[in-house]
Structures are given as structure tokens and as C-alpha cells.
Structure 1
Amino acid sequence: MADEINGTEPIKGPASYFPVIEKTYGKPMNHWFTLVAARKGAKHADIVNWLKKDHGLAHGHANAIAAHTRANAQG
């Protein structure tokens, strides 16, 4: 279903969190993607917990970043 205001599809899934993550933590999404990508081989739950503990992200935000990064990993 298209957004009736601007005629575009609404953002769904982990990406729907990205504008709030950028605003809340003051870093662009590429910052978070790069950090997570450097943790090759880490399990999803470990990445989420690391983002929460070491970077102060809320659980939903950390989960969205981890899910998106892992889903879009090259190789």
C-alpha cells in the first residue's frame, strides 16, 4: 500500500528504525554498519548485546542494525 501523502511505499523492517537511530545517537547508519561489519563471525545476539553494552543502544535499535547488516553482508 502506498503512502497517500507522498506516493511512496512505507519503509518496513529494520530500516524503519534508521531515521530514529541517526537522530537519537547522532551517527549516520554507515557508522553502525561499519562497526558491525568488522565483527565478522559474531552471532546476532552477540552483536546486539555488544551494541547495547558498549555503545548504549536500545535493544530494538541494536537488533535492527544487526539484522540489516547481517542480511546485507557480502560473501
Structure 2
Amino acid sequence: MDQEQKMIQNLKEKYSKSLSEWIEIVKAENLEKHGQIVKYLKSEHGFTHGFANLVAHKTLKSDAGSSDATDLISQQYKGKEHFKPLYESLKSEIGKFGSDIEFLPKKAYTSVKRKKQFAMLIPATKTRFDVGINLKGVEPQGILEADTKSSGMVSHRVVINHEEQYSRELIDWLKKAYEAAG
């Protein structure tokens, strides 16, 4: 049983209702954005971030399990097709770190996990590709900046505006995050 299935199973035990019941509750509130749903579940029902995030993704059908991964990737890169080769290159390099890596496309980004998420691949705008990296306790340095945009889902990010910014340094930071997620 994977982590998501365990969470779905534990949801009823921890919060007294099944996933389908929580989805109906959220739909009754007419919340349309992921962040709104997470905030509502945390503030009104005492959810932890992980469970709130799960229910939000399932409600909006914005996770890899609710949609076809290929469709999610196509949506992410619509109008940003020039970043797709960068995504493929990053995916290939990250895949070399180990056989325990999962690439989980969401609506706006791809989560990269080992036992826990260690990176996010985000075609942010037509001119900017962000690589979120989870390296808690590491001071920003070089191309690594503190992340202030992803609601704590990663601790750092690297911004890529043009191909020359894709570097060995980025891959080295991703490898450190992978190792820390083991």
C-alpha cells in the first residue's frame, strides 16, 4: 500500500469521515482553489497540512491519481512548451539518483519524492522555470535561494530564466535533497 492509500485509510480514523465525505463537505463550501480548501480544512476542522492537501487535490482532481499524468504534464506546459526539454532533462538527471524516485504530476507542478518530497519542478511562467528543493537548515547560497512562494512545501528554489542557468550546481543541490529525503 502506498503512502496516499495509507492516508486515505487513516483519514476516517483521524477525522471521523471518509475521503468521499470530506470531498462533499468541501464542495458544499464552494471553494475552488487548492489553497482555500487547505486553509478551510486546517482552520475549521483541525486538519494537518498533509491531510488537507490530500483532500484538496482529490476534490479538485489535481493530483496524479485523479487525472492522467500525461494530461497534467501537457496542461503544465501549455504555452510554456519551450520549458518541456528542461523538464525532461531534469527528470532524467534526477532519475539517476536512485530507483526509489517518484515523479507525481499535479495541476501546476511535478512533485519529486523519495520517502518524502524533495523537489518540485514548476513551469512557473512563460519566462521562468522554478525548481523547488527541500533542504531544511541549509543557508541559501550560490543559485540556491530561500523559497517564499510554495507555502512551506520546499525550503529553497532555483530560478531558471534561460538554458545557461541549468547547471551542475542545480543537479548537485537536487542530489543533496534526494539524499536528505532517504
**What is the TM-score normalised by the length of structure 2?**
0.31
Structure 2: runs of 5 or more not aligned: 67-182
Aligned mate of 1:63, from 47, 53, 57: 53
Larger RCO, structure (CA 8 Å, separation 6 or more): 1
* Superposition misfits of 4+ residues, deviation over 4 angstroms: none
Q: How does 1:1-75 map to 2 (within 5 A)?
A: 10-11=1-2, 13=4, 15-40=5-30, 42-71=32-61
Q: Which one is further off, 37-46 or 63-72?
A: 37-46
Deviation at 1:11, TM superposition (A): 4.2
Paired residue secondary structure (1:66):
helix
RMSD: 1.9
- Residue of structure 2 in register with 1:4 after alignment: none
Percent identity between the two aligned chains: 31
Letter in 1 for 2:57: A
Quote the Cα distance in structure 2 between the aligned partners of 1:53 and 1:41: 14
Paired residue secondary structure (1:40):
coil
Quote the Cα distance in structure 1 between the aligned partners of 2:40 and 2:57: 14
Q: Deviations over 1:6-46 (max 9, x none)?
A: xxxx4465x54211111111212222010112233521001
Structure holding more strand per residue: 2
Structure holding more helix per residue: 1
Paired residue secondary structure (2:60):
helix
**What is the TM-score normalised by the length of structure 1?**
0.68
Letter in 2 for 1:38: A
Letter in 2 for 1:29: L
The size of the alignment, in residue pairs, is: 62
